Amino acid sequence: MISPRALADLVVEAAADKKAEGITMLNVAEVTTIADLFVICSGRVERQVQAIADGVVEKVKGAGQQVLGIEGYGTGRWVLVDLGAVIVHAFVPEERELYRLERLWGDAPVVLSMP
């Protein structure tokens, strides 16, 4: 079992490989019990968001880690990948702007922010 941060770093690498934009990692451990880290990113269109989710799942499973669940893949507008200690949120830009998770979880420290 790898640490939550190492798992999140794998997620960031997978998302970046799929040209995700606005990759942000939040440490939510002190503000919620549902996860230690959120990784939030955007794809330009639904198909790219699905490709980001696919890349994350492939890389995580390749590292021997379990994927607990995937939500929203069918529409590709907001795909959530549950990795236990790490939750991945991949959005199309309009959905990301609508839900503003970075603002909703504003008390959580930003661990990483990439354009």
Check residue 86 and give its pLDDT.
98
Average pLDDT, the chain: 97
Report the share of the chain in percent with pLDDT over 90.
97
With contact defined as beta carbons under 8 Å apart, do 59 and 18 qualify? no
Tell me the average pLDDT across 7-35: 97
pLDDT value at residue 19: 98
pLDDT value at 1 more than 80: no
Residues 6+ apart with CB under 8 A from 41: 15, 20, 21, 22, 23, 24, 52, 88, 89, 90, 91
pLDDT at res. 115: 85
**Domains along the chain?**
4-113 (3.30.460.10)
The whole-number pLDDT of residue 20 equals 98
pLDDT digits (tens, 9 = 90+) for 47-102: 999 999 999 999 999 999 999 999 999 999 999 999 999 999 999 999 999 999 99
Average pLDDT over residues 24-47: 97
Of the CA atoms within 13 Å of residue 12, those in its CB half-sphere come to 19
What residues form DSSP beta bridges with 72? none
